[in-house]
Amino acid sequence: MQNRITQLFSHKSKDILNIYFTAGYPNKDDTETIIRELADAGVDMIEIGIPFSDPVADGPTIQHSSQLALNNGMTLALLFEQLAHIRSYTDIPLLLMSYLNPVMQYGIEAFCKKAAEVGIDGLILPDLPMFEFEQNYRKLFDRNHLSHIFLISPQTSEDRIQKIDQASTGFIYAVSTDSTTGRSEDLTKTQEEYFNRIKGMNLQNPFLIGFGISDAKSFQKATTYAHGAIIGSAFIKSLGKTGSLKAIIHQFVRNIRGEQPVSN
C-alpha–C-alpha distance, residues 208 and 230, integer Å: 7
Q: CB of 185 within 8 A of CB of 194? A: no
Residue 66 has pLDDT above 50, yes or no: yes
DSSP output for 156-178 = --HHHHHHHHHH-SS-EEEES-S
C-alpha dist (Å) from residue 1 to 16, 109, 128, 145, 250: 22, 20, 24, 7, 33
In eight-state DSSP terms, residue 137 is I
Query: Which amino acid belongs to residue 44?
Result: D
Which residues make beta-bridge pairs with 174? Answer: 152, 209
Residue-level length of the chain: 264
Task: Give mean pLDDT, residues 72-82.
Answer: 97
CA 203, 199, 257, 249 dihedral sign is: positive
What whole-number percentage of the chain has pLDDT above 90?
84
Residue 153 has pLDDT above 70, yes or no: yes
> Where do the DSSP E strands lie in 23-88?
45-49
Task: Give mean pLDDT, residues 209-223.
Answer: 93
pLDDT digits (tens, 9 = 90+) for 175-212: 987 644 444 456 788 888 999 999 999 999 999 999 88
Enumerate residues 6+ apart whose C-beta is below 8 A from 85: 32
Query: Is 47 an annotated catalytic residue?
Result: yes
| Model pLDDT, residue 55 | 56
pLDDT digits (tens, 9 = 90+) for 106-125: 999 999 999 999 999 999 99
| Model pLDDT, residue 234 | 95
- Name the active-site residue from 44, 47, 121, 165: 47
Domains (ranges, CATH) in the chain? 4-256 (3.20.20.70)
Query: Is 127 an annotated catalytic residue?
Result: no
Enumerate residues 6+ apart whose C-beta is below 8 A from 86: 32, 35, 94, 118, 119
C-alpha–C-alpha distance, residues 36 and 91, integer Å: 10
Three-state secondary structure of 204-220: CCCEEEECCCCCHHHHH
Beta-carbon neighbour count of residue 9 at 10 Å? Answer: 21
Q: Is the peptide bond before 26 cis (omega within 30 degrees of 0)?
A: yes
- Name the active-site residue from 30, 37, 44, 58: 58
Q: Which strand (E) or helix (H) includes residue 39?
A: helix 31-41
Residue 245 has pLDDT above 80, yes or no: yes
Enumerate residues 6+ apart whose C-beta is below 8 A from 69: 22, 23, 24, 25, 28, 51
Q: Are strands 122-124 and 94-97 parallel, antiparallel or unpaired?
A: parallel
Query: Which amino acid belongs to residue 24?
Result: G
SS3 call for 182: coil
